[in-house]
């Protein structure tokens, strides 16, 4: 009978996990996850910085081509609040007022109640970036593309920094003809020309 119990105990030990073994496995998985999650989060935010930068360059090129095609001055104006950063592409005439991306997509050239200003200004596109996305735009000035050449009225180059909460950053600059280019002021996002 004692031999049968010993055999029975050996079978139980060989076919399962002890509580200590399970706890060790859980600890090892938790350590691996804690190492991987922050780097995955940083990678996602850096991808958002890259996507936001690409969209901005596309929109600056759009504003430039619209100024040439429509024969009107097109302004790209930037703004921000504690909750978001944004920019809007629109026709402009300072004697008639200004458009603001803070009014919302499709409402940039309206008053705070959403009523058109009857000023002839036309919104072409508005982009709003929620601060919760981990990406912000920093621009000191707006840019106006003049018709019929699409060259900015102010030849001073525009500089826009697209900054991620992970430390990644890209910069969009324009040259004297208004053409945008991308550079990297830091090493956090690779694959871009370093800013000079």
pLDDT in tens, 33-88: 777 666 788 889 999 999 999 999 999 999 999 998 888 889 999 999 999 999 99
| pLDDT > 60? residue 122 | yes
Burial class (CB in 10 A: 0-12, 13-18, 19+), 160: buried
pLDDT: is 71 or 112 the higher one? Answer: 71
- How does 22-49 read in b/e, with b if 16+ C-beta sit within 10 Å? eeeeeeeeeeeeeeeeeeeebeebbebb
**Rounded to two decimals, what is the model's pTM?**
0.77
């Amino acid at each position: 009978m004692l031999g049968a119990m010993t055999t029975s105990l050996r079978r139980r030990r060989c076919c399962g996990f002890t509580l200590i073994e399970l706890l060790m496995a859980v600890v090892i998985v938790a350590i691996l996850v804690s190492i991987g999650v922050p780097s995955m989060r940083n990678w996602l935010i850096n991808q958002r910085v890259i996507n936001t930068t690409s969209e901005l360059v596309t929109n600056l090129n759009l504003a430039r081509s619209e100024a040439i095609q429509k024969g009107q001055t097109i302004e790209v104006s930037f703004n921000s609040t504690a909750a978001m950063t944004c920019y809007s592409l629109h026709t402009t005439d300072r004697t008639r007022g200004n458009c603001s991306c803070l009014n919302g997509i499709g409402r940039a050239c309206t008053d705070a109640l959403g009523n058109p200003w009857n000023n002839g200004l036309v919104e072409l596109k508005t982009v709003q970036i929620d601060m919760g996305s981990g990406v912000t735009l920093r621009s000191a000035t707006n840019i106006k593309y003049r018709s019929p050449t699409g060259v900015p009225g102010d030849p001073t180059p525009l500089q826009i920094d697209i900054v991620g909460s992970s430390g990644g950053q890209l910069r969009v600059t324009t040259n004297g003809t208004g053409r945008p280019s991308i550079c990297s002021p830091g090493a956090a996002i690779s694959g871009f020309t370093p800013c000079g």
